[in-house]
């Protein structure tokens, strides 16, 4: 064992001198380091966990970024965009992108008896990732998205309490478009969720996107009206709904033009198929409808009720539009990089991206302030540790003045003497850091498992203090504290240079 290490260990672990003044001072210094390390570990763990938890809620509710039309000015009302895009649905194959899904937003009013509440109705499709909402459910289930079951909605616990509703109850949602068009829709409450985000819980009601696609008239739906004319003739009139209402009609295979009515002769024992393509002047995708007319051999007037009129077609192009696309990423730290890449490389003209930071600027600004709090706590704890260690080291040096004088008289240099007491400081710091790690990690694991510290979800977005323990930050904290504190001890250790051997051993 080297000379400096040997002397340093004898100073700290000398069993023959249990009544030394430095012993309680060293214990106090170690205790201060233990508490300081535990506080720093908990501060980093809580801050990281809190930021991660809140960010996960914000991005889970609306994706890390959204792709929306340039024309969209109201964040609560979507403008239409075609679902068929060059980036959909394969964008999730891009490195860093986890998922992409369609959505639509429309303002609405919920009415139950005498209670009303303004909401933002969010339509979701079959590609919806329900992972976040399933974790946030407090009652019921998520929506059944499909062609047959669509009269369902998800509302928040805050909204359910305010309107005195529960799972299975029926509510009326008035969808609002502009200042004049208001249409009621009845929904059965399929589930109740709670995210803790006021902007979500106080506003958002989820429904099948088909409701909003139809209500907003994003697409065109073509129909044909068939009426009896006279003799063997029928009248066929074109009908269209949705779009910009400036319709034009095409009748493939015929010479017909315009809406009609157009006469067609269907003799007994024959059949005819008529196709209609309805479009508008606003560039809406046209819709196709057809009717198949089959006449039996009996006399027309007597058997009209038995005539077969079969209808079919595309069923409306409204389902080919949505309000935008939500994109979830694998790593939040890649948000800016992937936002730039998606905007520049994948989306076409007429579209833009909106990040979660732009949607919730106040939340992310608040989270960034937590980093400042962490820095302040770490600096304060390190300063406390340095003061405690400096005090303990000076007392040890004063207590060992005679020993210092003897060693100097025997030829020990000032550098060697400083090294002895810096090794003592490192030992004290090491013990305090290890014990502090055990205390801090133990408390963090207890909180993570049992959630002992609770929070009001209305104010903090979470109902218990979140903890995120990572090996990297804890290791960096330990190394940083040890290096900073040992370097800070260089100054008090230089006091040994001022001790003169002659004076130190005069009364030995």
Whole-number pLDDT of residue 28: 86
What does the CA dihedral 74, 75, 80, 82 come to, rounded to 10 degrees? 150
Whole-number pLDDT of residue 106: 93
Whole-number pLDDT of residue 508: 53
> Is pLDDT above 60 for 300?
no
Percent with pLDDT over 70 in the chain: 93
Identify whether residues 371 and 473 lie together within a single domain. Answer: yes
Whole-number pLDDT of residue 150: 61
Q: Is residue 45 part of a domain?
A: yes
DSSP 422-462: HHHHHHHHHHHHHHHHHHHHHHHHHHHHH--SB--HHHHSS
Q: How many CA atoms lie within 13 A of 189 on its CB side?
A: 25
Identify whether residues 305 and 389 lie together within a single domain. Answer: no
| pLDDT digit string, tens, across residues 346-366 | 998 899 999 999 998 988 988
Whole-number pLDDT of residue 410: 78
Identify whether residues 240 and 309 lie together within a single domain. Answer: yes
Specify whether the CB–CB gap between 416 and 4 falls below 8 A: yes
At 281, which CATH number?
Answer: 2.60.40
Report how far residue 296's alpha carbon sits from residue 304's, in angstroms, rounded to the nearest whole number: 9
**Rounded mean pLDDT, 116-138:** 92
Burial letters for 48-67: b for 16+ Cβ neighbours within 10 Å, e otherwise? bbbbebbbebbbbbbbbbbb
Q: Is 502 helix (H, G, I), strand (E, B) or coil?
A: helix
Tokens (6 digits) for 233: 């003739």
Whole-number pLDDT of residue 304: 45
Identify whether residues 331 and 194 lie together within a single domain. Answer: yes
- Return the number of other C-beta atoms located less than 10 Å from residue 315's C-beta: 14
Q: Is 190 helix (H, G, I), strand (E, B) or coil?
A: strand
| Domain with 290 in it | 220-315
Whole-number pLDDT of residue 398: 80
The overall average pLDDT reported for the chain is: 86
Identify whether residues 208 and 230 lie together within a single domain. Answer: no
Phi, psi of 267 (to 5 degrees): -65, 155
SS3 helix, strand, coil % of the chain, rounded to 5?
A: 45, 25, 30
Identify whether residues 306 and 435 lie together within a single domain. Answer: no
Tokens (6 digits) for 117: 């509440």
Tokens (6 digits) for 16: 């023959």
Q: Which of 199-213, 336-350, 483-497 has the lowest mean pLDDT?
A: 483-497
Q: Which of 145, 124, 317, 310 lies closest to 224 in space, CA to CA? A: 310
Report how far residue 180's alpha carbon sits from residue 173's, in angstroms, rounded to the nearest whole number: 16
Pick the more confident residue, 399 or 180: 399
**Rounded mean pLDDT, 31-37:** 92
Q: Is residue 307 part of a domain?
A: yes
pLDDT tier, 226 (very low <50, low <70, confident <90, very high otherwise): confident
Report how far residue 55's alpha carbon sits from residue 75's, in angstroms, rounded to the nearest whole number: 20
**Rounded mean pLDDT, 106-125:** 88
Whole-number pLDDT of residue 506: 64
| pLDDT digit string, tens, across residues 235-277 | 899 999 888 888 999 999 888 989 989 888 877 777 888 999 9
**Rounded mean pLDDT, 34-45:** 93
Identify whether residues 141 and 202 lie together within a single domain. Answer: yes
> Is pLDDT above 60 for 485?
yes
Whole-number pLDDT of residue 408: 79
Q: Is 115 helix (H, G, I), strand (E, B) or coil?
A: strand
Identify whether residues 442 and 389 lie together within a single domain. Answer: yes
Identify whether residues 52 and 182 lie together within a single domain. Answer: no
Whole-number pLDDT of residue 152: 92
Q: How far is CA 162 from CA 156, 202, 506, in A?
A: 10, 10, 85
| pLDDT digit string, tens, across residues 355-396 | 999 998 988 988 888 888 899 999 999 998 898 888 888 888
Identify whether residues 130 and 204 lie together within a single domain. Answer: yes
Identify whether residues 328 and 190 lie together within a single domain. Answer: yes
Phi, psi of 402 (to 5 degrees): -60, -40
pLDDT tier, 207 (very low <50, low <70, confident <90, very high otherwise): very high
Specify whether the CB–CB gap between 253 and 265 falls below 8 A: no
Specify whether the CB–CB gap between 173 and 121 falls below 8 A: yes
Q: How far is CA 211 from CA 106, 112, 145, 184, 216, in A?
A: 10, 20, 11, 11, 9
**Rounded mean pLDDT, 149-174:** 89
pLDDT tier, 303 (very low <50, low <70, confident <90, very high otherwise): very low
């Amino acid at each position: 064992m080297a000379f400096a290490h040997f002397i340093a260990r004898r100073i700290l672990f000398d069993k023959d001198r249990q009544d030394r003044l430095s012993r309680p001072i060293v214990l106090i210094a170690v205790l201060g380091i233990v508490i300081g390390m535990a506080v720093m570990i908990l501060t980093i763990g809580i801050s990281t966990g809190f930021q991660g938890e809140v960010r996960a809620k914000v991005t889970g509710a609306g994706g890390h970024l959204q792709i929306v039309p340039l024309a969209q000015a109201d964040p609560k009302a979507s403008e239409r965009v075609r679902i068929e895009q060059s980036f959909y649905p394969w964008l999730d194959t891009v490195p860093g992108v986890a998922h992409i899904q369609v959505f639509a937003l429309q303002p609405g009013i919920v009415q139950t008896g005498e209670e009303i509440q303004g909401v933002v109705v969010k339509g979701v499709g079959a590609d919806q990732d329900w992972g976040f909402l399933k974790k946030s459910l407090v009652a019921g289930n998520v929506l059944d998205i499909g062609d047959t079951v669509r009269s369902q909605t998800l509302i928040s616990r805050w909204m359910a309490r305010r309107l005195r509703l529960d799972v299975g109850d029926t509510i009326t949602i008035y969808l609002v478009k502009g200042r004049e068009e208001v249409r009621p829709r009845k929904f059965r409450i399929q589930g109740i969720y709670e995210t803790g985000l006021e902007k979500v819980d106080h506003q958002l009601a989820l429904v099948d996107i088909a409701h909003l696609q139809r209500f907003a008239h994003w697409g065109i739906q073509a129909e044909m009206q068939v009426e009896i004319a006279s003799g063997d003739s029928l009248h066929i009139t074109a009908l269209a709904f949705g779009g910009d209402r400036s319709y034009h009609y095409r009748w493939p295979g015929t010479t017909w033009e315009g809406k009609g009515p157009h006469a067609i002769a269907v003799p007994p024992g024959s059949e005819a198929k008529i196709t209609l393509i309805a479009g508008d002047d606003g560039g809406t995708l046209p819709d196709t409808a057809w009717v198949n007319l089959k006449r039996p051999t009996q006399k027309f007037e007597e058997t009209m009720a038995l005539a077969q009129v079969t209808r079919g077609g595309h069923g409306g192009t409204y389902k080919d539009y949505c309000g935008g696309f939500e994109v979830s990423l694998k790593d939040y730290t890649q948000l800016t990089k992937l936002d730039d890449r998606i905007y520049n490389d994948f989306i076409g003209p007429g579209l833009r991206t909106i990040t979660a930071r732009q949607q919730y600027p106040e939340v992310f600004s608040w989270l960034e302030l937590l980093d400042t709090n962490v820095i302040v706590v770490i600096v304060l704890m390190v300063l406390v540790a340095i003061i405690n260690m400096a005090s303990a080291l000076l007392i040890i040096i004063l207590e060992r003045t005679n020993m210092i004088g003897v060693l100097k008289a025997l030829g020990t240099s000032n550098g060697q003497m400083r090294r002895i007491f810096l090794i003592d400081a490192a030992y004290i710091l090491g013990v305090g850091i290890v014990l502090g790690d055990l205390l801090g990690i133990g408390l963090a694991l207890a909180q993570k498992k049992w959630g002992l510290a609770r929070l009001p979800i209305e104010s903090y977005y979470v109902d218990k203090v979140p903890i995120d323990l990572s090996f990297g930050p804890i290791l960096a904290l330990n190394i940083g504290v040890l290096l900073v504190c040992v370097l800070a001890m260089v100054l008090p250790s230089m006091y040994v240079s001022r001790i003169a051997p002659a004076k130190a051993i005069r009364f030995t």
